[in-house]
Amino acid sequence: MRYRLSKLLLFTLCLLPMAAQASGFAQLGRLADKGFMISAEARLIDEGEVLGSIEPERQLSPASVTKSYLAAAALDRWGPQHRFTTRLVSAARPDADGLLEGDLVLDGGGDPALTTEDLWRLVQRLHQAGVREVEGRLLVSQWRFGPVECITTDRCQARERSANAYSALLSSAGVNYGSWCVSVAPGASPGDAARVTGCDSQAAILRIDNRVETRPDNSGTELRAERVTRDGHDTMVLSGQISTNARPRDIYRASSDPADQTAMTLLAMLDQAGIAVRGGADTTQAEPPAGARTLAAVEGKPLQELLLRVMNYSNNFMADTLALNLVETPRADLRLGGLAIEQFVAGIPDHGPVTLFSGSGLTTENRTSAIGTNALLASMFHRPSLFPSFVATLQSPGNGVMRFIRRGSPTFQHHVMLKTGTLNQPVTVRAASGYFRTRSGRWGVFTVLVNGTGSTPYLSWSEVLDPLAVDLEQMIDTH
């Protein structure tokens, strides 16, 4: 009789849904009953004790959790204080009258956070070097990488039009994260067209198609913007309305060609500084001449500051630019960047398989597992010279910049540091990974990868973070 009961109990357990078998993830595991695929693991670092597990070796898309891999690989390669340098060079020398009898070349150094402020500093230093006129052309050299082949739908579409900034195309000579910025302000009176300028200049550098109407005070502001490419020129198409008492609104949209955007922006700045360029501006994939002299240079921010922006704001342009910089040979593409990160991961004990087609996670082919991602996190924890810079890139739910993570109990909000990942096409992906501190002060790592299928419903972040917060809170409180 006892044997029959044991068999019956075993049979019953086999029929229980995933939620009942999800050790340590009782709440999160219920998503499996809705058809979602899950790879999850939480464990303590000091003794490796597993506190929760759902198919931890299953290979799933990590979406932007990929950026944790990129951050670790970048810190390993360059260290926290590395800076990327952008230079203005020329094979010619300015004469006594300030004439440069040759081309002026911007040598794109792959700085993922190069801004118009940096370009302006370059121009001022060029002026200090005595240059007043360039007889040749302004050439923006993207010999390291660019234009980079687009392998995601959004980026490929951005070559013709874009209604967002996250799909920015890539170049080692890109500026302002590969996006144009325009500022929209109300006109003088209701019925007037809105006033549109560049965010960094009184006159917009790209073409403007302004259809925004000024409305009376407090009538509401609703703006729509799309960057389209017409006859080889980028045009910002704006429509909607803005109230007369509204503040100016900045709008960012991906450019069709980041290097060309840099060339146009820099040419306008040179003109504003009184440095004429007779030959106009163009882009090139050729490396600057071997004998070219540096006329002006500007260093970017330290890597640890770059990674704060990459991770906190999940900046795809910056992440993929850093991944491309990891490739040691010129003309890098996204897959080569992914392979460079994979080579770094190969040195992490017990990680297991990983496939990366980008450093951003925009590529839907990226695959890793919860157990692998936790191995990455644990390996960085044991590197005292790099761990402070790495863990600082993660957000605490209680005070992170992303509002959607501000949920759960005070325990979850203040004992957890995480990076999230989101994709909606071709299937839903919700991923979260990071560290936690238990009540007794022990460190733990956790990774949760949730992937939908073609038949699963839409999955909101609350459906993932709320049960995850409950499960992690229990682990934190009991250890």
Distances (CA, A) of 230 to 110, 161, 204: 28, 9, 16
Q: Before 426, cis peptide (omega within 30)?
A: yes
pLDDT, position 22: 52
Q: In the block, which residue shows the tokens 């993929």?
A: 320
**Cα distance between residue 149 and residue 163, in whole Å:** 20
Q: Are 122 and 300 in contact (CB under 8 A)?
A: no
Q: In the block, which residue shows the tokens 């994979």?
A: 342
pLDDT, position 203: 78
Nearest Cα neighbor of 307 from 357, 359, 255 is 359
Instruction: Kindly state the tokens that stand for 42.
Output: 């939480």
* Radius of gyration (C-alpha) of the chain in whole angstroms: 26
Q: C-alpha angle with apex 184: 179 to 186, nearest 5 degrees?
A: 180
pLDDT tens-digit readout, 366-425: 999 999 999 999 999 999 999 999 999 999 999 999 999 999 999 999 999 999 999 998
**Cα distance between residue 258 and residue 76, in whole Å:** 28
**Positions of the chain with pLDDT lower than 70, given as ranges:** 1-22
Q: Are 80 and 302 in contact (CB under 8 A)?
A: yes
pLDDT, position 5: 39
Burial of 391 (0-12, 13-18, 19+ CB in 10 A): middle
Q: In the block, which residue shows the tokens 């044997």?
A: 3
**Cα distance between residue 396 and residue 7, in whole Å:** 46
Nearest Cα neighbor of 199 from 122, 259, 265, 260 is 265
For residue 466, how many other CB atoms are within 10 A of its CB? 15
Nearest Cα neighbor of 464 from 15, 40, 13, 20 is 40
pLDDT tens-digit readout, 125-178: 999 999 999 999 999 999 999 999 999 899 999 999 999 999 999 999 999 999
DSSP class of residue 274 equals: T
**Cα distance between residue 206 and residue 340, in whole Å:** 36
**Cα distance between residue 33 and residue 18, in whole Å:** 7
- The structure's pTM equals 0.92
Q: Before 147, cis peptide (omega within 30)?
A: yes
Q: What phi, psi does 420 have (nearest 5°)?
A: -105, 165
Nearest Cα neighbor of 59 from 353, 304, 279 is 353
Q: Where are the alpha helices (DSSP H) in 208-356?
A: 258-272, 303-312, 316-325, 334-345
**Cα distance between residue 176 and residue 101, in whole Å:** 30
3-state DSSP assignment of residue 468: helix
Classify each residue of 219-254 as buried b or exposed e, where b means 16 or more C-beta atoms within 10 Å of its C-beta: eebeeebebbbeeeebbbbbebbbbbebeebebbbb
**Cα distance between residue 283 and residue 234, in whole Å:** 15
**Cα distance between residue 231 and residue 9, in whole Å:** 72
Q: Are 234 and 180 in contact (CB under 8 A)?
A: yes
Q: In the block, which residue shows the tokens 């799909």?
A: 167
pLDDT tens-digit readout, 329-352: 999 999 999 999 999 999 999 999
**Cα distance between residue 371 and residue 376, in whole Å:** 9
Q: What phi, psi does 250 have (nearest 5°)?
A: -90, 135
The DSSP-derived string for 11-24 is HHHHHS-HHHH-TT
Q: Where are the alpha helices (DSSP H) in 253-333?
A: 258-272, 303-312, 316-325
How do 233-243 and 99-100 pair as beta strands? unpaired
**Cα distance between residue 62 and residue 68, in whole Å:** 10
**What strands lie across the sheet with 233-243, from one edge to the other?**
161-162, 222-230, 233-243, 207-215
Residues near 7 by beta carbon (within 8 Å), at least 6 away in sequence: none
Nearest Cα neighbor of 412 from 478, 465, 479 is 465
